[in-house]
Structure 1
Amino acid sequence: MDLAPSQAQDFKRGRGDVLLIACGALAREIVDLIELNDWRHFDVSCLPAKWHNTPALIPEAVRAKIRAARGRYSAIYVLYGDCGTGGKLDRVLAEEGVERIGGPHCYSFFSGNEAFAEREAEDCTSFFLTDYLCRHFDKLIIEGLGIDRHPELLPLYFGNYEKIVYLAQTDDETLREKAQEAAERLGLAYEYRFTGYGDLSGFMGARSGRPSSSQR
């Protein structure tokens, strides 16, 4: 199951009593964990992954999904980091009384928030890719940032980066090749790190009442 950037909104799974409101960029990983662990009580509703380019849209859209779902579920959780909202998402969630996964973004919780924080100084000039971003690099990065139409923008966006770090959720040769090609296209060095699902599996597992099997 792989949702393209334009298909992520309104994706739902199952008929559970717990709702996960998530970024569309996490849909495949969330479904994989649900299937791997047989967490049938989770439903999933995703917002478009492309909103990472316009994070101001995220907080109120999450609020709308919470309010639309309230009364239909025994619990609601949000699978978003702050994701560039400048704390606005957390303010919305505090007002609505809904918990989210910890961490500033998915790069952090896929890595493990503690491990990511420990490497913060080392990674300050790194541009991160996940499995999803490898699959949709051209759509979300090259086209989404307008580099295909205005190649002169590339150094403006990426001139301060030194390397691409691919944080891999799965051990996939095709995706490794795509990540290396992305690094070459941006003129950056390349580093591969296998993270698996990181803190995402632990967060979901703790709210499922059952331990998780998070690695393949």
Structure 2
Amino acid sequence: MHQCAKEEKVRVIACGAIAREIIAICKANRLGHIDLQCLPAIWHAYPEKITPGVENAIAEARAEGIERIFVGYADCGTGGLLDALCAREGVQRIEGPHCYSFFAGNAAFAENDDDVTSFFLTDFLARQFAAFVIEPLGLDRHPQLKPMYFGNYRKLVYLSQLEDENLKRKAKEAADYLGLEYEYRFTGYGDLTSALTRL
């Protein structure tokens, strides 16, 4: 856990894939009351684990006497189960269907109607492309599956939180590996900043 000073805590239960961004926002905005607990980033590939994991983390926070809780996940493939949990527990989560949307800004993301044929990377996924895309899909062992997984995509869109030439290069390499066009969009932290500063 990373505690970004002392006041009444708000426990933010978040995906480990956005931990770096949450910590940066906390530091930049002096959000010392935010107490961050990250769940495994690999659940990005196994969304059925997210809702039970968040439920356990909420129970742990309450057992510690922390009542102010915020869920740092979008729906993230839970099919509404995470929203149902948040409603039962009386906690809020960040708005949006997934992190690509809230990093881009949910309103802006919804306006890009060509994105149905786009495969997205964030800074985290650009850094961890092999561990979070290639290996979970088995492409390291069965590269012939690439057309099955990615044949309906036209381009890879890198939604970048930081201007970083090394990450741009990695994202371009990922696009080349998948045989997709490459598009770069700098988003910064998008709606994540406003969601956290409102706490």
Pick the TM interval, shorter chain: over 0.9
TM-score (normalizing by structure 1): 0.88
> Contact 2:4–2:31 (CA<8 Å) still a contact in 1?
no
Tell which deviates more after alignment, 45-54 or 175-184.
45-54
Among all aligned residue pairs of Structure 1 and Structure 2, give the percentage whose two residues are the same amino acid: 56
Q: Which amino acid is the alignment partner of residue 42 of structure 2?
A: K
Partner of 1:25: 17
CA separation in 2, counterparts of 1:97 and 1:28? 26
Residues 132-179 of structure 1, C-alpha deviations (whole Å, 9 max, x = no match): 000000111111211001111111111110100000000000000000
Trace 1:1-150 onto structure 2 (pairs within 5 A): 11-14=1-4, 16=6, 17-70=9-62, 72-119=65-112, 121-150=113-142
Gaps of 5+ in 2: none
SS across alignment from 2:116: coil
Partners of 1:14 and 1:200 lie apart in 2 by: 15
The DSSP-based 3-state class of the residue aligned with 1:43 is strand
Shift of 1:12: 3.3
Aligned residue identity for 1:12? H
Shift of 1:14: 4.6
Q: Read off the aligned partner of 2:105 and give its amino acid letter.
A: G
Using the alignment, how far apart are the partners of 1:200 and 1:101 within structure 2?
7
Q: Which of the residues 125, 143, 160 maps onto 1:168?
A: 160
User: C-alpha displacement at 1:74, in angstroms?
Assistant: 4.1
Partner AA of 1:69 in structure 2 = A
Q: 2:190 aligns with which of 189, 198, 203?
A: 198
Work out the CA distance in 1 between the residues paired with 2:3 and 2:173. Answer: 33
Normalised by the size of structure 2, how large is the TM-score? 0.95
Measure how far apart 1:72 and its partner are.
2.2
Instruction: Say whether 1:186 aligns with 2:178.
Output: yes
Amino acid at match of 1:88: L
Q: How many residues align?
A: 196
In structure 1, give the amino acid aligned to 2:37: S
Greater share of helix: 2
Q: Report the Cα distance in structure 2 between the residues aligned to 1:38 and 1:202, rounded to whole angstroms.
A: 13
Shift of 1:37: 1.4
Change (3 A) 1:54 1:18: same
Alignment partner of 1:164: what SS?
Answer: strand
